[in-house]
Chains A and B, each alone.
Chain A
C-alpha cells in the first residue's frame, strides 16, 4: 500500500466516491455534489462539504463517514468543514448520479434550477422510473426525505419518489 501522504487532493476526492449517502445508499457523496473541496496541508486533510437541506439529518452521518473512511486509509488528521455558501443545488448532482437514481426507482430532478417553471406553475415532465411513462402527477411537494417529492405514475399506477429541484 502506498503511503497516504503521496495522495493528491484529486485522489482523495476520488476516494470519497466510496462514501455513500445514508438515506439514498445508491448515491455517493461525490455523485451528490456534497463534497465541494479537498485540501491537503502536510498530514492534514480538510474536506469541505455543503448540506443539501438545512435540516438534513444525514449530514452528521456523512461527516463522520468521510472521516472514518479517510482514517481507515491511514490519514491521521482529517477535518470536515461545512459551508453554506454557495448553497447546494440539484444542478451539482452528476450525470452518473442521475442515472443511478432512476435505476434505483427515484426520478432525478427534471430540469436545471435556472428554469423556475416548476415553482411558478409551469409544466415540467417527471418520468416514471418504473415504466418510463411521462404521464405522471405530483401527490405532494414533500416526500420521505427533505430532498424528495411524491409522485404517482398514471399509467403503471406506481407511486414513486422524485428528487426535487432546488
Chain B
C-alpha cells in the first residue's frame, strides 16, 4: 500500500464516521424532547457534516479520480463506507443517542488533540477546526450523561442500559491496521493505543459523577466497520435514506 492509498483510506474513515453520526443526529430534527435539545443535536450534526465535507473533499483530492465530496458521500456503496459501527447504531431513545455521542465525543476529542500535530497540513487544519467544535459536543453530552445518570430512577436505568448496550462498539475506535502503521511512520497519524487508557479514564470520571457503572473492560468488542467496511444491518437503511435524492435525481441542485 502506498502512502497515498493509506492517506485516502484514513481520510475516508474520519470523514465517514463524522458523516454517519451527523446523519443519525439529523434524524432528530423536529423530534427533540425540547426545542433547545432539538437545536443542540442539529447544531452538532451540522458541525459533523461540515467536518465530514472537509475530510471527503480532501479524500477526493488525494484520490484524484475526478470525484467530489458529494460523489463520495452519495455514490458509494455500503462496503465502501469506513465509519465506526458505533455511530451507525440507531438513535433509540434520548439516552441511547446521548450515550452513543458521549462515547464517541470522548474519543473524538482525545484523537483530535493528537491529530492537530499531524505532518499533513490539511489533516492538521481540519483537526484544528474540528477540535474547537468537538469541545462543545463533549461538554454537552457529558452534561446530559451526568444529568440523566444521576437523575431519576427511571433515567438512571435508561442510561445504564444504553451504556451497557453500546459498550461492545467502543473497542473499534482504537483498532489500527496497515493504514495507521504507514501513516504513523510519516508522522501523519497518531498511535491510538495510548488513547485507550485516557478514554477509559474520562469515561470513568463522568460515569462516577453520573452514578453509572462502567461495563467490564475485558468485554468482547465488535469491530469491522472502520477497517473493513463490514457493517451492521443498520447501514443499508441509513444509506437508502441519505443517498435517495442524489441517486434518484442525479442533476438535482439547490
A contact residues vs B (CB 8 Å cutoff): 51, 53-57, 83-89, 119, 139-144, 146, 150, 164, 166
Q: Which of B161-186 contact A (CB under 8 A)?
A: none
When the two chains form their complex, are residues B128 and A87 in contact, meaning their CB atoms are under 8 A apart? yes
Residue of A nearest to B41 (CB): A142
Q: How far is the CB of B242 from chain A (nearest CB, A)?
A: 16
Q: A84-B125, A140-B36, A142-B44 are in contact. Are A55 and B132 (CB under 8 A)?
A: no
**Which residue of chain A is the closest to B49 with respect to CB atoms?**
A55
CA A150 to CA B36, docked complex, whole Å: 8
Q: Are A141 and B139 in contact (CB under 8 A)?
A: yes
Give every chain B residue within 8 A of A141 (Cβ-Cβ): 40, 136, 139-140
- Given A85-B125, A144-B39, A150-B36, 10 more A-B residue pairs with CB atoms under 8 Å apart are A51-B50, A54-B47, A84-B122, A84-B126, A87-B132, A141-B136, A141-B140, A142-B43, A142-B44, A142-B136
B54 within 8 A of A: yes
CA distance A136 to B71 in the complex (A): 46
Known contacts A119-B135, A142-B44; is-contact A85 B121 (Cβ 8 Å): yes
Binding site for A on B (CB under 8 A): 22, 36-37, 39-40, 43-51, 53-54, 121-122, 124-126, 128-130, 132-133, 135-136, 139-140
Report A25 CB to chain B, min CB distance, Å. 20
Bound-state Cα–Cα, A53 to B54, Å: 11
**Chain B residues closer than 8 Å to A119, beta-carbon distance:** 135-136, 139
B46/A53 in contact, CB under 8 A:
yes
Contact of B133 among A53, A83, A85, A144 (CB under 8 A): A53
Q: Nearest residue in A to B126 (C-beta to C-beta)?
A: A84
Please indicate which of the listed interface residues A83, A85, A141, A142 has the most CB atoms of chain B within 10 Å of its own CB: A142
Output the least CB separation between A51 and chain B (Å).
Answer: 8
B50 touches A142 (CB 8 A): no
Instruction: Give the most central of A55, A87, A143: most B CB within 10 Å.
Output: A55
**Cβ contacts under 8 Å, A89 to chain B:** 132
A36 to B135 alpha-carbon distance, docked (Å): 24
Instruction: Determine the chain A residues whose CB is within 8 A of the CB of B50 once the complex forms.
Output: 51, 53-56
Q: Which residues on A sit within 8 Å (CB–CB) of B46?
A: 53, 55-57, 146
Given A84-B128, A141-B136, A54 contacting B53 (CB threshold 8 A): yes
Chain A residues within 8 Å of B45, by CB: 55
Whether the Cβ atoms of B125 and A54 lie closer than 8 Å is: no
Contacts of B54 on A, CB cut-off 8 Å?
54, 84
B129 lies within 8 A of A142 (CB): no
Complex CA gap A56/B133 in Å reads: 12
**How far in angstroms is the closest Cβ of chain B from A69?**
23
Contacts of A144 in B (CB 8 A): 39
Task: Give 16 pairs: A residue, B residue, CB < 8 Å, sorted on A.
Answer: A51-B129, A53-B47, A53-B133, A54-B133, A55-B22, A55-B48, A55-B53, A84-B125, A87-B128, A119-B136, A139-B36, A142-B39, A142-B40, A142-B44, A142-B136, A146-B43
